[in-house]
C-alpha cells in the first residue's frame, strides 16, 4: 500500500463518488475505480459499498480513513519542514462559520490578520449548515455546538450574548411586550423552523414560540427584517452596533448565552495551523468584547 493509493482513497471517501473525486485527483472515474479496486485487493477487504448513489465507506474503510488522514498530516508536516511553511504564514486558509460570526466578526478579524500576513489567503465560507471538515470544505470550522467525535479537536473561543430586540418604530406601533408569554402572540422573526441545523440556534423554541411569521436561514437577514420594523427578533449583541434602529426588549427576561468553538481535524495540528488558530481566537475574543461593549451603551425598551 503506497501513498498514491491512500491519496485516491481519501479523495473518494471525502467526495463519496467517483465523479466528484475526479476534480481533485485529475483522473477519470474509470481510472479511480481501477485504483480503488487494486487497493481493496491489496487490503483483502472491501473499503467501499458501491451503488448508483455513490461510494460509501464500509466498516473497514472507516478504520482505514483515520490512519490515512494521519499519513496525510505527517506528509504535510514533512513538506512543511522542507519548505519552511511552519515558519511563515502564507497560502490559503479556509474558515467555515455560521452566518452571524461570518458577517459581523470574521471580516474585521481576517482583515487585521491579512494586514500582518500579506502572503496569507483567508477565505470565509458561510453556509446554512455545519461545514464538513472531513470533505475538506474548510481548514477550520467555527461552530455553536461542540462536536462529539474524537476525530475533531474543538477549542472554546468565546461565549457571546443574544437579546430580544425590535425597532423603535415597531415598538411605537405595537407596544412593549409585558413578559415572555406575550411573545407567543407577537410577530416574531427567526429561523425557518424545519431548517434549523443546530439545536443551539433554536432561540424562539426555548421561549415557547411556535409560529414564526417572518423567517430566514440567515441571521443577518433576520436582523434586517427587524431593522425594517417587521417584528421582534433574537439578535446577537455583537450585531447591535450595526443596527441603531433596534432596542433590547425584556432584557431581564430574555438574555441568552451561546459559545463559539474552533474546530479542526485532530490529525491536522501543526505549527502553522496552531499559529493561525491562535490569531483567530485572539481576534474573535477581542472583537466580541469590543462590539458587546458598544451594545451595552444602548438603551433598552
275 in Cβ contact with 92 (< 8 Å): no
The domains located in the chain, with CATH, are: 3-83 (1.10.10.10), 91-158+259-287 (3.40.190.10), 159-257 (3.40.190.10)
Decide if 9 contacts 15 (C-beta within 8 A): no
Q: What was the pLDDT predicted at 87?
A: 54
| Among 260, 132, 124, residue whose Cα is nearest residue 200 | 260
For each successive 10 residues of the chain (301 residues), what is the average pLDDT? Answer: 83 84 83 92 92 89 82 62 57 92 96 92 85 75 87 88 96 94 93 91 91 95 97 96 95 94 75 88 93 78 59
The pTM score is 0.69
CB atoms within 10 A of CB 122: 19
Task: Return the ∠ at Cα 287 (arms to 198 and 97), rounded to 5°.
Answer: 30
What pLDDT, on the 0 to 100 scale, is given for residue 80? Answer: 53
pLDDT of residue 86: 47
CA dist 59 and 85 (Å) reads 35
DSSP state of 186: S
pLDDT of residue 26: 82
Report the pLDDT value the prediction gives residue 63, as an integer from 0 to 100. 87
Amino acid at each position: 500500500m503506497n501513498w498514491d493509493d491512500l491519496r485516491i482513497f481519501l479523495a473518494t471517501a471525502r467526495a463519496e463518488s467517483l465523479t466528484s473525486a475526479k476534480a481533485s485527483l485529475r483522473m477519470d472515474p474509470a481510472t479511480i475505480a481501477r485504483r480503488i479496486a487494486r487497493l481493496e485487493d491489496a487490503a483483502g477487504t472491501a473499503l467501499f459499498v458501491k451503488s448508483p448513489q455513490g461510494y460509501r465507506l464500509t466498516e473497514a474503510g472507516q478504520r482505514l480513513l483515520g490512519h490515512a488522514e494521519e499519513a496525510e498530516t505527517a506528509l504535510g508536516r514533512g513538506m512543511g519542514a522542507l519548505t519552511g511553511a511552519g515558519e511563515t504564514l502564507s497560502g490559503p486558509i479556509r474558515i467555515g462559520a455560521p452566518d452571524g460570526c461570518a458577517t459581523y466578526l470574521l471580516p474585521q478579524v481576517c482583515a487585521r490578520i491579512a494586514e500582518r500576513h500579506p502572503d496569507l489567503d483567508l477565505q470565509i465560507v458561510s453556509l446554512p449548515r455545519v461545514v464538513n471538515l472531513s470533505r475538506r470544505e474548510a481548514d477550520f470550522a467555527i461552530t455553536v455546538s461542540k462536536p462529539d467525535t474524537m476525530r475533531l479537536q474543538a477549542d472554546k473561543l468565546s461565549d457571546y450574548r443574544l437579546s430580544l430586540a425590535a425597532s423603535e418604530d415597531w415598538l411605537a406601533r405595537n407596544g412593549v411586550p409585558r413578559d415572555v408569554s406575550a411573545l407567543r402572540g407577537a410577530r416574531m422573526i427567526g429561523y425557518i423552523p424545519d431548517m434549523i441545523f443546530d439545536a443551539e440556534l433554536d432561540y424562539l423554541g426555548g421561549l415557547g414560540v411556535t409560529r414564526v411569521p417572518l423567517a430566514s436561514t440567515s441571521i443577518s437577514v433576520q436582523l434586517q427584517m427587524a431593522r425594517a420594523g417587521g417584528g421582534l427578533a433574537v439578535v446577537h449583541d455583537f450585531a447591535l452596533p450595526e443596527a441603531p434602529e433596534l432596542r433590547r426588549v425584556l432584557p431581564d427576561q430574555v438574555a441568552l448565552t451561546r459559545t463559539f468553538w474552533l474546530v479542526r481535524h485532530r490529525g491536522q495540528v501543526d505549527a502553522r495551523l496552531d499559529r493561525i488558530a491562535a490569531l483567530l481566537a485572539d481576534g474573535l475574543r477581542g472583537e466580541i468584547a469590543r462590539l458587546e461593549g458598544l451594545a451595552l451603551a444602548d438603551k433598552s425598551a
